[in-house]
A and B are shown apart, each in its own frame.
Chain A
Amino acid sequence: MKQGNETVLEARNIDKFFYNPKETQVLKEITFQIPRGEFVSVVGKSGCGKSTLLYILSTMDTAFTGELWMDKELISGKPANYLAKLRNEKIGFVFQFHYLLNEFSVLENIMIPGLKLGKYSREELEHRAIEKLKIFEMEDHALKKAYQLSGGQKQRVAIARALINDPLLIMGDEPTGNLDKKNSDIVYNKFKELAQEFGQTMLIVTHDPEFAAGTDRIIEMEDGRIVGQ
């Protein structure tokens, strides 16, 4: 799936302010690009703005200045419903705490973004979801309810869910941050596998140096600026 140096995501001069309690600039002139197929990690100390940056890149936070391009399309300033559709189709998410919808089974959790997109029929999606689960060796748990899984298992399912619509880009906010060493290793290895075997473009925020060391490129942040990449 690696296709030259086509840019998947580009940030141009992104500034972000917090106004509560007083005006603070959290992001300063953030400019970088992610080419297709690259596995990028963002590292930095707590409070350096790396999560804030991720939410801006994910299109969920729209209160910023600067330009955001995704797949050669300017997406900053687009209406909220358009961005929701874009998230559904092109971005896969993996969070630190918020894994799955507890009301649904593992399989359903994976299928929901696909059902929302409506590109495939229900049967196809079920088949695809099982395929994705197989990558994570979780196919035996497909019919369990989400709350019956352990933290590491949940996170693996969450990554499988992020993959269901073949996203352009997977974003992760400290995906291993809440896991013990063993599970964290499993999840980390799965990310590596996705990068190497499937050429999946990924942008992962982490403060785990070991995790970052295994990625193609490390973007280092300090006080809202990119200090090295």
Chain B
Amino acid sequence: MNWKLLIEISQALMTARLKQTLIAAIGVTFSITMFVTLLGFMNGLNEMLDGLVLNRTPHIRFYNEIKPNPDQPIDLSDDFSNSINIIRSIRPSTSRLSIYNSESIMKTLEEDKRVIGLSPKIAAQVFFNVGTIDITGVVNGIDVDKEASLFAFQDYVTTGNFEELKQTNSIILGKGAADRMLADIGDVIQATSAQGNKIQLKVVGYYQSGLGDYDNANSFASIETVQKMLGEPASYITDIQVKLTDLDLAPAMAKEYAGIFGIDADDIQTVNAQFETGTYIRTLISYAVGITLLVVSGFGIYNILNMMIYEKLDTIAILKAIGFNSSDVKRIFITIALAIGVIGGSIGLLLGYFACLGIERIPFETEALPTIKTFPVDFNVKYYLIGGVFSVITTYFAGYFPARKASSVDPVDIIRGK
């Protein structure tokens, strides 16, 4: 097969109708540009919105839930094992919020290869005493370094230095809480724990997650500060937050360790299922729009090739008369279509990349998203690959049908027709 000759002929046919060919190629360029830009932008936003919650959410959270004991004394009796037992007025047993044997649990988890890291936490209900008013809130006792490395804590501390939290009796207030208390950096505020212990805390920063409700209620202090505030020993921990190498392992691992340690475990999939759904639907919509654009440009190529074939019937007839067979003619027109697709598509990918760079520079500042300064864009190679592959596939099919028509031209009809 003499491909070089066929390519030369395709090239000559294209240059003969340069304007039409260009229009077809621009159609592909435009749609690929839009496809890449749309997906990059949409997924950038997706990742940012998911990141708002998912970055900060542990993959598995271990804790003790206060609940009635599932094993009531009557269940231990063989006499009643086959009967329906009704017990009224069950109360939660005197279990405590802290995790038993927390140190050995943390040690076991740290040795697990699936675990990137873990961070202990204490959630303590407090009243902030502001003048004569008490404002309820939660002070989270955290291991500052681990919280920063695993859950990007520093990103959300909008004012002040998060490192200062390591000093005892310092607190980073949620932005909402701080606004209500009129607490400035450096102020000392008073908090009362549920046990009635009063403690003075120095405000060293503001925390802003972007989720208003969360920022109204939650503040952060070091784990030691909270232990002291509650009057509990150094082993007192209410939550263990675990980050895994693979998020998909979370449900199985949560179940596994909840069984071993005899504590409660929540995994990220179960808790945040709605985020996955939202992301999935947004992605689906952007793909649908992108592919629609490509199909439309495919119709453009189809039309232009069809016109070209009508104009070039003589050429096709002469080629066939001098010994080109049907497949040769088909290949010529498919080559034209693919050339339009590949050239238009490559330029489209390039322009799409530039458009993404441009969007990434547009300022986008909002109160709710303190870490975001410009529009987020995802530069994942995946979208460029999909765009490239789709541009070739659609142009191939757009070229296939006109090419088939051209290949079935009967030269005798054309030559006799004049």
Contacts and interface: CB of A to CB of B under 8 A. Distances in A.
A144 B58 CA distance: 75
Q: How large is the interface on B (under 10, 10 to 19, 20 to 34, 35 or more residues)?
A: 20 to 34
A97 B414 CA distance: 11
B5 interface: yes
Q: How large is the interface on A (under 10, 10 to 19, 20 to 34, 35 or more residues)?
A: 20 to 34
Given A61-B412, A118-B2, A98 B317 contact: yes
Contacts of B193: none
B412 A116 contact: no
Interface stretch (A80-88, A182-190, A207-215): A80-88
B37 interface: no
Contacts of B253: none
A201 to B, nearest CB: 18
B325 A95 contact: no
Interface string B5-18: 10001001101100
Contact of A95 (B319, B323, B415): B415
A173 B415 contact: yes
Q: Which of B322, B410, B416 has the most CB of A within 10 A?
A: B322
A182 B412 CA distance: 29
A81 B414 CA distance: 19
A55 interface: yes
B418 A93 contact: no
B314 A98 contact: yes
Contacts of B15: 103
A98 B321 CA distance: 10
A140 B116 CA distance: 79
A60 B318 contact: no
A84 B324 contact: yes
Which 7 pairs across A and B sit closest by C-beta, in order of nearness? A88-B323, A84-B325, A103-B12, A103-B16, A81-B325, A115-B5, A87-B323
A167 to B, nearest CB: 10
5 contacts: A51-B416, A58-B321, A84-B328, A103-B13, A116-B5
A84 B2 CA distance: 14
A30 interface: no
Nearest to A164: B322
A118 B314 CA distance: 24
A172 interface: no
